[in-house]
Amino acid sequence: MRAVVSVVAATVAGGIVAGEPGAAAAPIPRAAPTTTSKPIDDWTMHTALGLDMGVGSTISSYNENGGPSATLFYTALRGTYDLPHSFQGLLTLRQWWLPSANHATMFGVGARYEPFVYPYGRVFFDAAFGPTSTNFAWAFGYDLGGGMEFELPDAPGFGLGPYLRYGSVVNPDRRDSNDGRAWNLGVSFTYHFGRAAAGASSAPERRASPRGSYRISIPDTDRDGIADDEDQCRDTPAGPHPDPFRPGCPEADEDGDGVPDNVDACPVTPPGAKPDPKRPGCPFIDSDGDGITDADDSCPTRPGPASPEPSKNGCPDLKKPHAVVAAPPPSAQDEAIAPKPVKKHHVPRPPEGQ
């Protein structure tokens, strides 16, 4: 039986290594990045292989001469196929290496459920049952477990993490009526062909690192391109006008007009619908309507022409002579009502003494 387990383990391990991307014996120079096509969605894209290894203890004896609380080792090989609603079909070969050269080997079927999937890993629960062989009898066994596997960032498709399992074999020794029960804690390894192909096709070209291929990913909460360990405003994007003195922070803009306060001539007044072309962030105000903004108009309440002299800009020209407007000629009605001239007759005075 041990020989069978060894052969199966070597076969599955060979399949995992053969499925790894980039498993060539000799590295070749990295070519220029090219556009990769989406992998073909066939049955292999929904298949995964896994290996569990752990150590635990028996809860009850697996034979009539054994006792409880004996140390055991656990190994398992499994193959899964993706099903709808986060379920996977499961085929497994599980081995409990029991004390006193005893063993329990189960050829089982079951299911795996992944209720929570995160960018960095997934939580899983699984169960399997099937015929189980010991040194003393063929019996029925089952196994329940759960754990979490973490994705390896530089190895698409690979996941590993801790698990906890409970297993039982019904009446593993015909000389005794007790059921064998045990628990174990260990590490779960999984290689998913579909996730590996998707990761290889979408991953950017990686640069060689003299310190190794593993990197620490630092989050960027506000997605402004500044990592949280350097971002002084983690929840506020830097925006189009970043603060040169505070990484990851926008420059202050009190009036919300999109012009930073350090260049806004009117930091508390938005420009409105008609901004001033000469003063960023200020509205265009012209009280006398002469086309010159009040900020540049020396006479903001009296219209006047533009002048290169700041003191006369927008002021009326007082030295310019005013045109004399002639009175209009009299009309016929005016002549009718105008007073008539009186003609005086001269009467000679008589000489004195007459």
Q: Helix or strand or coil: residue 153?
A: coil
Can you give the pLDDT at residue 289? 75
Other CB atoms closer than 10 Å to residue 92's CB: what's the count?
22
Q: What is the pLDDT of residue 26?
A: 47
Q: Which two tokens stand for residue 289?
A: 């309507």
Task: Tell the residue number behind the tokens 């983690």, with chain if given.
Answer: 234
Compute mean pLDDT per 10 residues along the chain, 354 residues long, and list them. 46 45 46 54 87 94 76 94 93 90 91 92 95 92 96 88 95 86 95 82 48 64 83 82 83 76 78 77 77 78 79 74 58 62 63 63
pLDDT of residue 77: 96
Cβ count within 10 A of residue 47: 17
Every domain of the chain with CATH number 2.40.160.20 lies at 2-16+43-202
Secondary structure letter of residue 44 according to DSSP:
G
d(CA 248, CA 235): 9
189 touches 51 (CB < 8 A): yes
Give pLDDT, residue 146.
96
SS3 43: helix
What is the residue type of 46? H
Q: What pLDDT is recorded for position 20?
A: 45
| Beta carbons within 8 Å of 231's beta carbon, 6+ residues apart | 220, 221, 222, 224, 247, 248, 249
Calculate Rg over the CA atoms of the chain.
48
C-alpha distances (whole Å) from 354 to each of 187, 294, 347, 351 are 165, 89, 16, 6
CATH topology of domain 2-16+43-202: Porin (2.40.160)
Question: How many other β-carbons are positioned within 10 Å of the β-carbon of residue 124?
Answer: 25
For residue 296, what are its two tokens? Answer: 């540049």
The predicted pLDDT at position 39 comes to 60
150 vs 326: CA distance, rounded Å: 100
pLDDT at 21: 43
What is the rounded CA–CA span in Å between residue 236 and residue 131? 59
Structural tokens at position 235? 């929840």
C-alpha–C-alpha distance, residues 329 and 93, integer Å: 125
Alpha-carbon distance of 303 to 301, in angstroms, equals 7
Please give the pLDDT value at position 100.
Answer: 77
Backbone angles phi, psi at 4, to 5 degrees: -60, -45
- C-alpha–C-alpha distance, residues 83 and 113, integer Å: 10
Return the residue matching tokens 């265009």: 284
Give the pLDDT of residue 259.
Answer: 79
Q: What is the pTM of this model?
A: 0.47
Strands 180-192 and 47-60: antiparallel
Q: In this structure, what token pair is assigned to residue 62?
A: 């697996």
C-alpha distances out from residue 285 to 176, 245, 275, Å: 102, 34, 9
